[in-house]
Amino acid sequence: MPGTVPVNGNYSMGDLANYLTTKEQLDFTQLTALTIDFVSGQQRNLATFIPQPNQLGPLAICAKGASSPGTKIFTTTAYVNNAQTGIDVYRLALGS
Amino acid sequence: MGPKMPQELRAPSLSLYSAEDFDADVKAYRADVKNGSLDDARALRNQIAYRVMADIEAGYGKFEMRITSDRAVQATASDATVLGLSAATAVITPGDVTGILAATSTAFQGTWHSYDKNFFREKTTEALIAQMRAARRTKQAQLITALENRDVKSYPLDAVWIDLVDFYYAGTVPSALVDIAASAGSDAQKADATLNAALAQAAKQAISIRAAYQKLAAAINGTDRAERDGAVQSLKQILTQIGYDHGEDLAPAQLLQLLQKAMSDADPDNDPTGAKLKALNAAIAAANLN
């Protein structure tokens, strides 16, 4: 569903990318932001999705500055494996 | 609790291996090695090892009986520090050779301080005993095999002693706790690997389902009547298979909306088990849209 939802802070980068990809594909949405949830006091993130009628390629997440295929869509800091981590979020080509 | 033990078995072993006897045997062993009487040295080595093993066995049997039948010990077990101390000394009979064994190794000194007390409290006496028995069996089998198959050159008494120390500590609660903790860590890693695989599989299925949706939507919104009719049939088949009632009079666009709802219902936040996603993926695969 479009909107902002809490996301587990103990996912690895790969798990986080797969989780967000699954939500995008099934909910007809597009990830626009991923931030630490400072308000809840828990080690978790907040992901923001907007409606997207077109199918997008899967997401990939890597450490900030590391190289990755695809197009970088944003850089952020999020909880990864329960630790605040600088990450780059990439959009891979559909079919990759 | 257990049956009454025969008088003959009540002694710690056939004859308690005193520290004096032990010292004398070790001296004789070293003399045999020095003189080149390796067969005699081997026989003496094995005798020393089996006598120490017998003492450890006798001590362990009593120790196990005590921690299973005496619930007071279990009450004490709520404090890892106290149990660590009692367990480390439980099988030692002062004056016999197991006392030397205990003094030989400092492997566990201080290690029990690091246990998470909450983790410790969850361990039942039965689980600890099962772990101790398993570890002891493994160590004892390794010891006996080595004693039977290796000469004093490749397996001198000093090496035997190291294995005896391991065998002795395999029958202590701290050792069992370490083994259980290691096993729990391994299980946790397996669980993580399973989670990774499940999330990767879910993403793959979601992409595939969404691609199928796009294809059906393109056919339904297109101008080719045959393609449109085929897409409607496929949609109905998919929805029927996953248990969504579509009726007979729903328009193609409404069928698409129903599939969209089914996809949303399969979102991992709505269905953490992944069962709906799996069923939807199977239904789309069965529709053979290619």
| B164 shares its domain with B205 | no
Closest of B179, B167, B173, B169 to residue B83, by C-alpha: B173
B228 and B156 belong to one structural domain: no
> Is A43 within 8 Å of chain B by CB?
no
Residues 6+ apart with CB under 8 A from A89: A17, A31, A34, A59, A60, A61, A72, A73, A74, A75, A76
A96 belongs to a structural domain: no
Is B247 inside a domain boundary? yes
As a whole number of angstroms, the distance between CA B116 and CA B128 comes to 15
Q: Is the ipTM of this complex over 0.85?
A: yes
pLDDT reported for residue B184: 63
Length of chain B: 290
- Test B263 with A18 for CB contact under 8 angstroms: no
Claim to verify: residue B39 and residue B164 sit in the same structural domain: yes
Chain B contact for A55 (CB, 8 A cutoff): yes
Structural domains of chain A, count: 1
Taking CB atoms and an 8 Å cutoff, what residues of chain B touch A1? 264, 267
Q: Which of A5, A25, A58 sits opposite B269 (nearest CB)?
A: A5
- Return the number of other C-beta atoms located less than 10 Å from residue B119's C-beta: 13
> Same domain for B119 and B25?
yes
| Inter-chain residue contact B199 with A19, CB threshold 8 Å | yes
pLDDT of residue B189: 67
Least CB-CB distance to A26: which of B199, B200, B266? B266
**Cα B113 from chain centroid (whole Å):** 22
CA B163 to chain centre: 23
Give per-residue pLDDT as tens, A45-70: 999 999 999 999 999 999 988 888 99
pLDDT reported for residue B194: 67
The domain boundary, picked from B114, B139, B171, lies at B171
Q: What is the per-residue pLDDT for B20?
A: 85
Q: 1-30 in A: which are within 8 Å (CB) of B? A: 1, 5, 11-12, 14-15, 17-19, 21-28
**A74 vs A84: CA distance, rounded Å:** 16
Say if B85 falls within a structural domain.
yes
DSSP helix/strand/coil, B244: coil
Whether the predicted pLDDT of A12 surpasses 70: yes
B200–chain A nearest CA distance, Å? 6
Per-residue confidence (pLDDT) for residue B17, from 0 to 100:
79
Query: Are residues B110 and B233 located together in one domain of the fold?
Result: no
Kind and range of the H or E run holding B78: none
Q: Tens place of pLDDT for every residue, chain B, 290 residues?
A: 556 665 555 554 555 778 888 889 999 999 999 999 999 999 999 999 988 888 888 778 777 777 666 544 444 444 333 333 334 333 334 345 555 555 544 333 333 333 344 444 445 667 777 778 888 888 888 888 889 889 999 999 999 998 888 888 887 777 777 777 676 666 666 666 666 788 899 999 999 999 999 999 999 998 899 999 999 999 999 999 999 887 778 888 999 999 999 999 999 888 888 899 999 999 999 988 76
Residue B289's φ and ψ, nearest 5 degrees, are: -75, -10
Q: Residue B62: give the domain boundaries.
A: 7-171
Q: Which residues of A touch B269 (CB under 8 A)?
A: 5, 23
Domain around A14: 3-91
Residues of B in contact with A54 (CB under 8 A): 214
> Are A25 and B200 a contacting pair at CB < 8 A?
no
CA count, 13 A, side-chain hemisphere, B78: 3
B244 and B132 together in one domain? no
Among candidates B4, B5, B14, which has minimal Cα distance to B57?
B14
User: B143: closest CA among B46, B57, B235?
Assistant: B46
Q: How far is the C-alpha of A34 from the C-alpha of B263, rounded, in Å?
A: 23
Separation of alpha carbons A58 and A92, rounded Å: 5
